Amino acid sequence: MNDIVERINKLKKEKNAIILAHSYQNIEIDLVADYVGDSLYLSRKAKDTNADIIVFAGVYFMAQTAKIISPEKKVLLPDINAGCLMADMINLHQTVDFKNQYPGLPVVCYINSTAEVKAECDICCTSSNAVEIVKSLNSKRVLFVPDANLGKWVESRLDSVEVITYNGNCPVHHNVTVSDIMHARKKYPDAKILIHPECKPEVSVLGDYVGSTSGIINYVKKSNEKRFVIVTEKGVAERLERDYPDKEFIIIKDNMLCDSMKLTTLEEILYALERERHEITLDDSVRELSSNCIERMLRVSK
């Protein structure tokens, strides 16, 4: 493993490349990553970097977002099969059909979506700024694609805004139930329960904290508590266990695993850098329109 890490680090220097890694990645990816975090943090890093090449250790929509924001850079996705089940639930035509059912309403697009879908929407959001973004529209009714759970969670956080949601979800988070949380509360009464808002809103409302992957990690960082139930993909709990050995982390259930996120390996990152594969490309008009959607979010969300 040391050999691969060394070769990756050497290539990064030679090619002026950086590696951005999502917190759900296999934990060894952190050995070569320049930045590890949530979707919003990584988007900002993609925008601000002076690197010529960005290797995105994450899923397709994340690498595509980096390319939208930084079109002059070469963006590489080490495993081309790393998709997102939620992003696959809505395409361009479904977005247009949904909009046509509610003419004139602003459309918020969760970042977990393709560039074509973003190009049809007014403003993007991530799990860490969704409430702020919907609020910024000053509209009594807002369309939200594709995550129904996040959209309804946002609605519950705002006074008198109706969030009309498309029927998408993340199967990893959608599978957590109210009884899973009640059971955890009973078994670990002293633990703080930290939940990602891609869970059903009736699940999220039971959490001590609801937030993005980085939000959950920061909550632990600031807390004096010793025990936490982590209600998101396993990668977050694994990183917390590594970084806070004096605290205890319980993963809500065994199957909190995003298969796509685990496809990327150190070997694939090495090949990606050596052969500059798989490069993300975008049609100019889609890039321009989807860029408006993301840039608007970055202006609103400081």
Mark 46-85 with x for binding to ligand 13P (rule: CB under 6 A) and - for no binding: ----------------------------------------
With CB under 5 to 8 Å by kind, the binding choice for 38 among ligand SF4, ligand 13P, none is ligand 13P
Identify the sign of the CA torsion 95, 97, 102, 104. positive
Report in angstroms how near the CB of residue 181 gets to ligand 13P at its nearest.
18
Report in angstroms how near the CB of residue 85 gets to ligand SF4 at its nearest.
4
First to last CA, the chain: 38
Closer residue to ligand SF4 in complex, CB, 70/260? 260
Closer residue to ligand 13P in complex, CB, 11/69? 69
Within residues 121-160, the interface with ligand SF4 by CB under 6 A covers none
17-22 vs 35-37, strand pairing mode: parallel
Closer residue to ligand SF4 in complex, CB, 51/108? 108
CA-CA distance, 198 to 38, in Å (whole number)?
A: 13
SS percent in the chain: helix, strand, coil, step 5:
45, 15, 35
Residue 199 contacts by C-beta under 8 Å, 6 or more apart in sequence? 149, 173, 174, 176, 231
Binding segment for ligand 13P among 64-72, 121-129, 132-140, 247-255 (CB under 6 A)? Answer: 121-129
113 touches ligand 13P (CB under 6 A): no
Tokens at 46, concatenated: 């993609």
204 touches ligand 13P (CB under 6 A): no
With CB under 5 to 8 Å by kind, the binding choice for 260 among ligand 13P, ligand SF4, none is ligand SF4
Report in angstroms how near the CB of residue 236 gets to ligand SF4 at its nearest.
10
DSSP 73-114: SEEE-S-TT---TTGGG--HHHHHHHHHHSTT--EEEESSS-
Residue 16 region by backbone torsions, left for phi larger than 0, else alpha for psi between -120 and 50, else beta: left
198 touches ligand 13P (CB under 6 A): yes
29 touches ligand SF4 (CB under 6 A): no
Closer residue to ligand 13P in complex, CB, 95/126? 126
Beta strands in 232-274 (DSSP E): 248-251
Mark 180-219 with x for binding to ligand SF4 (rule: CB under 6 A) and - for no binding: ------------------x---------------------
CA-CA distance, 257 to 272, in Å (whole number)?
A: 24
CA-CA distance, 77 to 173, in Å (whole number)?
A: 24
260 touches ligand SF4 (CB under 6 A): yes
258 touches ligand SF4 (CB under 6 A): yes
